[in-house]
Amino acid sequence: MGFTHETLPQRVRFAAGEADSAVREEVELLGARRAMVIASPRGAGVARAVTAGIGVAVLHDGVREHVPIEVAEAARAVAAEHDVDVVVPVGGGSATGLAKAVALTTGLPVVAVPTTYAGSEATDVWGLTTDGTKTTGTDRRVLPRAVVYDASLTLDLPAALTATSGLNALAHAVDALWAPRADPINAALAGEGARALAAALPAVLDAPRDVAVRERVLYGTYLASTAFASAGSGLHHKICHVLGGRFDLPHAATHAVVLPHVLALNAPHAPDADRRLAEAFGSTSAAAGLADLHDRLDVPRGLAELGLRDEQVAEAAEAILPSVPPSNPAPVDLEVLEALLRAALRG
Ligand code: NAD
């Protein structure tokens, strides 16, 4: 076993029903007194309740998906104007992403309170969109210092978003298994994350207001994102990145639709990953287990349903090709990418 694994430094708290006290303690640990709370207008009420015990200098609700640069700059100006010393996003990956954009240029610490299964809180990956082109990078400054998971904040997540966001979480685990820095430690995290998600996601759709089941999804989400942060972006994320950034397809649903197609391509060339995922899904193969999960979750089937058009497939394949990781187990060329996208288009 020759490998070097780096673990990202972060405090993580599971505190169902107690986000307010957990946030207060985490902010106190940082010695911060003037928080910038970031939430969408929909999440502002929840954010106020969660941050009631800390000094809030400003609540900023200018959240947009994929963090357009002008949205990031507006948030940075608000942070400077209010002389804040900590950023507290309460919401999905878009709120966390905006907090990361502020941290990227200011170095301010982030205490994240996630309310979806996007998993951004566990990574040091930032993303910004300029003139329709999304750029991502890694920087330790954007890794939240602390994450507070309170499953009670996720009880109202609609069924469709629960399913697609949950599969977005699962995609982190699956893609980590053949990503550039895959190693035995992040593979173990990915396997356990996949196991938790595969068991809890169907259960959460049956009992959407069961805090304990929602908490199992958050547990799987965290493990999967930690594996992804450590292993890096694999082929699946490179594909979804282009589809989201260039064609404006919805983030979570795109991950849900593309994942079985990347798995079908790679699993025959990655027997260890196939075996680990099959075990996690309690199935004969990774592909069969994921197909079964898809059926039970009732997620969109094809990219066409999400807005991709047939004539955009060739353009997408060309845009994806330069970023295909050399670590990918199956050989990939333009033809392979086009075939994968056409299969995903139809679903
Ligand atoms: P999102 O944050 O845009 O949320 C989707 C919708 O759900 C929004 O309308 C939001 O208001 C609503 N919502 C959030 N929490 C809710 C709740 N508990 N109940 C009801 N409604 C709720 O979407 P997302 O899928 O969470 O995040 C997507 C964004 O995150 C993308 O921009 C993506 O690129 C980014 N992301 C980044 C990373 C990373 O590592 N940097 C990882 C994953 C996702």
Q: Is the pLDDT at 331 greater than 80, yes or no?
A: yes
Q: What is the pLDDT of residue 134?
A: 83
Q: What is the pLDDT of residue 246?
A: 87
132 and 147 in a single domain? The answer is yes
Task: Determine the Cα–Cα distance for residues 174 and 234; give it in Å rounded to an integer.
Answer: 9
150 and 248 in a single domain? The answer is no
The minimum-distance atom of ligand 1 relative to the CA of 40 is 11
Mean pLDDT of 31-45: 97
CB 341 within 8 A of CB 268: no
132 and 224 in a single domain? The answer is no
193 and 331 in a single domain? The answer is yes
83 phi-psi bin (left φ>0, alpha ψ -120 to 50, beta other): left
Q: What is the pLDDT of residue 199?
A: 97
CB 267 within 8 A of CB 273: yes
Q: What is the pLDDT of residue 248?
A: 87
Distance of alpha carbon 82 from its chain centroid, rounded? 29
Over residues 158-206, the pLDDT tens digits come to 999 999 999 999 999 999 999 999 999 999 999 999 999 999 999 999 9
Over residues 118-135, the pLDDT tens digits come to 999 999 999 999 887 888
Q: How far is the CA of 102 from the centre of ligand 1 (A)?
A: 17
User: What pTM did the predictor assign?
Assistant: 0.96
Mean pLDDT of 6-25: 97
Both tokens of 107, joined, read 């170095």
CB 163 within 8 A of CB 298: yes
Q: Is the CB of 162 under 6 A from ligand 1?
A: no
The minimum-distance atom of ligand 1 relative to the CA of 94 is 2
Would the CA dihedral through 320, 181, 11, 173 be positive or negative? positive
CATH number of the structural domain spanning residue 304: 1.20.1090.10
184 and 100 in a single domain? The answer is no
